[in-house]
């Protein structure tokens, strides 16, 4: 799990289970852990960039650390949708090695490909196919696809 703090450095904190020290000898686990760690770091880098866009530290703290009443409110926040859109695209690339065209086909015809991307599946279940959150998520997914 990771978090980006609204401090002057937009510090990224990564939280690991202490048991990781006992199982680090397993090469399969170690390789999987490295991929997941990079994944979490890159997700938090999106939030770090958002933090740096707010120059005033007092404003940054108010905007970036506002308490959320629920997971749904958190996931519908534009900043989180941006980071999750990046996450969805990266998961398609990393775990399935899909081309840009294959990713576009799968996000357009999501109902035909459920179970391939849990983050995208969750957004559909949580917000519904035609929700403003899904539309914003798609906007950013396409932007991230165009960047690569």
* Chain segment 61-104, per-residue pLDDT in tens: 666 665 544 567 788 989 999 999 998 898 888 766 788 898 99
Lowest mean pLDDT among 5-9, 38-42, 45-49, 140-144: 5-9
Q: What is the pLDDT of residue 139?
A: 95
Q: What is the pLDDT of residue 52?
A: 82
**Confidence (pTM):** 0.58
Higher pLDDT, 106 or 136: 136
Beta strands in the chain (DSSP E): 2-4, 12-14
Return d(Cα 85, Cα 80) in angstroms, integer. 8
- Is pLDDT at 18 greater than 70 in this prediction? no
Q: What is the pLDDT of residue 131?
A: 93
State which H helix or E strand residue 82 sits in.
helix 78-96
């Amino acid at each position: 799990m990771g978090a980006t703090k609204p401090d002057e450095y937009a510090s990224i904190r990564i939280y690991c289970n202490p048991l990781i020290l006992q199982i680090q000898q397993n090469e399969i686990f170690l390789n999987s852990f490295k991929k997941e760690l990079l994944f979490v770091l890159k997700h938090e880098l999106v939030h770090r960039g958002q933090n740096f866009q707010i120059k005033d530290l007092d404003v940054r703290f108010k905007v970036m650390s506002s308490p959320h009443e629920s997971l749904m409110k958190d996931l519908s926040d534009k900043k989180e949708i941006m980071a999750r859109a990046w996450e969805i695209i990266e998961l398609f690339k990393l775990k399935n090695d899909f081309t840009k065209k294959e990713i576009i086909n799968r996000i357009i015809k999501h109902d035909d490909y459920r179970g391939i991307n849990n983050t995208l599946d969750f957004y559909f279940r949580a917000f519904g196919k035609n929700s403003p959150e899904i539309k914003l998520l798609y906007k950013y997914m396409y932007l991230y696809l165009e960047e690569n």
